[in-house]
Amino acid sequence: MTLFSKHRAAANRSSRVRPLLVTLLCAAAVGSVVVAQQAGRGAAAPVAAAPAPIGDADKSGPSFAVRAKAVYPVSDKQPGAIDGGVMIVRNGKIAAVGADLPIPADIPLIDLRNEVICPGFVAAASAILPPHAGPHSISGAYQAVDGFDAYGDYAEQLALGVTTAHISPGGHRLASGRGAIVKLAGPAESRIVRGDSDLSINLGVYNPPRLIKPPFYASSDVAITPARRQGPESRIGQLFQVESVLAPNADAGAANFHTSAFTSAWSTGLTLRIQARQAVDIEDAVQLALRYKRPAYLVGAAEADELADSLATAGMSVVLRLEQRYRGPDNPVGPDPTAFDAQIRVAGRLAKLSAEKGFLLALAGAEGDGAADPRMSAALAMRGGMSPEMALGGITRTAAAILKLEKRVGSLAPGMDADFLVMSGRPLDL
């Protein structure tokens, strides 16, 4: 039995520590969140005037105080656990966190004598959305926010503790579109945190389908144009493909709605989210970020430890995906029972390097695994030598920082959204 399935089986049995209850309380001011949602849903075409907020303007979240056996704030000021900690929530936002805080009389107290509180997990890379069904290999027009079901029931992900997730249009095309950041519970109008969060580029994927454009009013007089091939067809072509679209004197005739959407998304300065696993692709990613001087972060990164220096120079953060299916260059066929060993080592090394070189490191699960367990990623990373604080941070605070949401989610600190988990034991005890 491999390491992975042993842990998975343990988690599936009634294990000692499980998130008992996930309490998700979204931001108080619906207005500001809704504006973000409406703006995010805008088309590649210029959006009309400022959207009006929907829902009640004075809607606010609940207020209460929680006293637990231990509170893990996962913040700069308070690393580590607070035993007998108290957290005060007002209107859906955290007002105060500390040990033995005076509990105000006007709000109810939830006394959790045997349970532990930690921030809701942030999935910096998730697979909630299947990849988009379109054929274009370079597009800025497919938006993950379009596919997100704001009314959906995400019990499967919530049961694993994920409260905020990044959704991507897919990892199957060179430039698959625009990602978004969403919350998995709460009223539908406030679930979309950021509708337009990044431009998703995937290196190491080739051979997109051909583009077929049937003639309008097909008749015997109208020739059927052959299906158009798209790049990239090999690793050599992938960066070239991106650059040919972005070049200032790009061929206007070959431009279409999707490539124009890509260039306009690029020109608004959206963060690049580059998914690359092998070292050669990671090198390409670093080159892309440096050449165009764009904010960018790396996802996947199974061989990132070899390039830690360049990553640090480029200022790129890393979201390490712990994937069983990744096959290294030495294992071209079949499932690799020792695949996790390599990744565990990489996680350990990256943990050390991130501390040394100063780039952010977050943890995520496998692509395509819709119910990826963040605590499993953390456990594997700890096995590789990552410290528990860094591992917990990798699925909460650091992930939020990479997604530029550190002021809203990922830790329990005053002013942040009250998204937290109630766990029956320490968060990382599987």
Instruction: Report the C-alpha gap between 27 and 33 in whole angstroms.
Output: 8
Min separation Cβ 144 and another protein, Å = 7
Residue 254 makes CB contacts below 8 A (sequence gap 6+) with: none
Residue type present at position 368: G
Cβ nearer to another protein, comparing 110 with 150: 150
User: Is there a contact between 425 and 114 (Cβ–Cβ < 8 Å)?
Assistant: no
Min separation Cβ 140 and another protein, Å = 10
**Terminal CA-CA length for the chain:** 18
* From 80, 130, 209, 335, residue interacting with another protein (rule: CB under 8 A): 130
* From 11, 150, 250, 312, residue interacting with another protein (rule: CB under 8 A): 150
Min separation Cβ 33 and another protein, Å = 13
Min separation Cβ 129 and another protein, Å = 8
Cβ nearer to another protein, comparing 51 with 104: 51
Going from the C-alpha of 189 to that of each of 196, 380, 408, the distances in angstroms are: 16, 36, 17
Instruction: Report the C-alpha gap between 401 and 227 in whole angstroms.
Output: 43
* From 120, 147, 171, 204, residue interacting with another protein (rule: CB under 8 A): 147
Q: Using CB under 8 A, which of the segments 6-14, 135-143, 284-292, 332-340 binds another protein?
A: 135-143
Any contact of residue 188 with another protein (CB under 8 A)? yes
* From 58, 151, 219, 268, residue interacting with another protein (rule: CB under 8 A): 151
User: Is there a contact between 339 and 331 (Cβ–Cβ < 8 Å)?
Assistant: yes
Identify any residues that bridge with 201 across adjacent strands, giving them in sequence order: 175, 274
Write out the binding residues for another protein, residues 22-61 only, by CB under 8 A.
Answer: 37-38, 41-45, 47-48, 51-52, 54-55
Best CA proximity match to 415, nearest among 96, 76, 101, 110? 96
Min separation Cβ 223 and another protein, Å = 17
Residue with tokens 């080592």: 345
Any contact of residue 153 with another protein (CB under 8 A)? yes
Any contact of residue 258 with another protein (CB under 8 A)? yes
Write out the binding residues for another protein, residues 401-420 only, by CB under 8 A.
Answer: none
Any contact of residue 216 with another protein (CB under 8 A)? yes
Give the number of C-alpha atoms closer than 13 A to the C-alpha of residue 421, restricted to the C-beta side.
32
Residue 355 has phi, psi (to 5 degrees) of -65, -40
Any contact of residue 173 with another protein (CB under 8 A)? no
Any idea how long the chain is?
Answer: 430
* From 63, 139, 163, 197, residue interacting with another protein (rule: CB under 8 A): 139
Cβ-based burial of 291 (10 A; exposed 0-12, middle 13-18, buried ≥19): exposed
Contacts with another protein, residue ranges (CB under 8 A): 37-38, 41-45, 47-48, 51-52, 54-55, 130, 132-134, 139, 141-144, 146-153, 155, 169, 177, 188-189, 214, 216-217, 257-258, 260
